[in-house]
Amino acid sequence: MSGTQLFVIHFAGGSSYSFKPILSLLEDIDIIPVELPGRGKRMAEPLLVDFEAAALDLFNKVLDSVEYPGFLLYGHSMGASLAFKVCSMLEEVGESPGHLIVSGNAGPGVKARQTKSLLADKDFIEAIRKMGGIPAELLDNRDFLHFILPILRADFHLSENCQLNRIPPVNTPIWAIMGNEEENAGNITNWKAFTRAEFKDSILPGGHFFIDQHPEKMAEIITDCIKSSSSISK
């Protein structure tokens, strides 16, 4: 599997440091986490609140780094939405990914019942707490909240205001994964309508951040996608 690139797009509030438990299990793969401005290695840059601008930013990052055919895109939650848009943009310029892996997201047109980005701070923090992904002690830390809330609000705003259902189906195979406790887990096959290629889906035990409970399974799915992409590109 040498010569394989995996571009990883983080969830709301995440950065290039996200997914470590999963990525540490993948060997002989060139893993390239791409992150939005305003966090991690791009802390000095202003946050983006527009989905199209965010997708263009990541598209350029990926396009500048692609070295091999058959590269993969993986995104969780907000990252899944961005990965789908970036995949479509890459196909338009002749750089089709070998596979698109999306998790924690039921796909274009499926909306959560609650618009979190418009909540007052107290309610917003409680909604984030229920989703998981951030340790409770950090959400009780005033300094941490001062740092993370603007990032989370920006990310949720751009995620909740995207229009993915207007994007035509891609020609890239999609594998969608969700936790069985997620609000829209029953709609996971919605993704099937947005690819003209092979579609697979998996439901794993857990809530929105089920990926933290199943790093081995997630690594297995990614590895299977890499093998499939490698066989197609030969």
The CA distance from 171 to 77, in Å, is 21
- The overall average pLDDT reported for the chain is 92
The CA distance from 162 to 54, in Å, is 10
- The domain spans of the chain are 5-233
Looking at domain 5-233, its CATH architecture is: 3-Layer(aba) Sandwich (3.40)
Contacts of 207 (CB under 8 A, 6+ apart): 131, 132, 179, 181, 182
> Where is 199: in which H helix or E strand?
strand 199-204
Place of tokens 């990525």: 23
3-state class percentages of the chain: helix first, strand second, coil last, to nearest 5: 45, 15, 40
How confident is the model over 184-213, as pLDDT tens digits?
999 999 999 999 999 999 999 999 999 999
How confident is the model over 45-58, as pLDDT tens digits?
999 999 999 999 99
Taking the model in full, what pTM does it have? 0.93
Q: In the prediction, which pLDDT does 46 show?
A: 96
Q: How many other β-carbons are positioned within 10 Å of the β-carbon of residue 163?
A: 11
Q: Which parts of the chain have pLDDT scores under 70?
A: 1-2, 230-234
Which residue stretches of the chain are H helix? 20-23, 51-65, 78-92, 121-131, 136-139, 142-160, 215-233
